[in-house]
Amino acid sequence: MSTMTARETILEAVRRAQPEAMPLPALEGDWIRYDDPVAQFCAVLEAIGSRAVVVGSIEAAQATLEALPEYEAAQRVFSAVEGIGRTTLDANAVATPHELASLEVAILPGELAVAENGAVWVTDLGLRHRVTPFICELLVLVVPKHAMVHTMHEAYQRISAPRRPDGSPAFGVFIAGPSKTADIEQSLVIGAHGPKESLVLLTE
């Protein structure tokens, strides 16, 4: 008489139902290449409810920010990018992320941008609280234009697991546009679980 438990019976049934192993696909070959990756990146961002602006200097980046009514009206702003924006609420000086609930604008550096889907690779190196890019109302990411790649495959070849100076793991994430949800009565809500607006400044 079998002494298998219900758990063992279920696991055995799962094992019997496993499909045959398949070889992994080869990743060599021609990947998507855009004639103008910057233009592609900007077009994708616009399609997903965000935008990108190519700025030739720090002064141009600052002028672009100051032309935004949301930025000009904001009282609680944090910039982690030297020379761009202003800081009236230092996100790295507060003890807990709950104190950032009123943060209106966050200006953060991005390491690279992906033309394929409008994503920007952002880490929390230099940030005390990793919630900073997600809790603000307007997120501004500053990325060097030369750090543009064509595809996510190319992006993953360039990035590595971020590490803090003490060797401990840091946090990294791809961010593409403001958050969205449309699962309630088929109504699209922008900024449901993050910034309501986002802007990428591509610097020369």
The model's confidence at residue 56, banded by pLDDT at 50, 70 and 90, is confident
Q: List the one residue out of 184, 13, 31, 12 whose CA is nearest residue 114.
A: 31
Q: Which residue has the higher pLDDT, 186 or 20?
A: 20
Helix H or strand E segment including 29: none
Q: Which residue has the higher pLDDT, 22 or 4?
A: 22
Question: Any residues with CB less than 8 A from the CB of 201 and at least 6 apart, and which?
Answer: 52, 53, 55, 61, 64, 65, 84, 140, 141, 142, 143
* Distance (Å, whole) CA 198 – CA 124: 18
pLDDT in tens, 73-106: 999 999 999 999 999 999 999 999 999 999 999 9
Listed ranges 46-50, 61-65, 179-183, 192-196; the one with the highest mean pLDDT: 61-65
Residue type, 185: E
What integer is the mean pLDDT of 42-54?
92
Q: What is the residue-averaged pLDDT of the chain?
A: 90
Q: Is this model's pTM higher than 0.75 or not?
A: yes
Q: Which residue has the higher pLDDT, 180 or 29?
A: 180
**What local confidence, expressed as pLDDT, does residue 1 receive?**
43
Determine contact, residues 170/112, Cβ cutoff 8 Å.
Answer: no
Domains of the chain by residue range: 32-203
**Strand pairing report for 119-123 and 172-175:** antiparallel
pLDDT in tens, 116-127: 999 999 999 989
> What's 32-203's CATH class?
alpha beta
Lowest-confidence region among 10-14, 62-66, 113-117, 161-165: 161-165
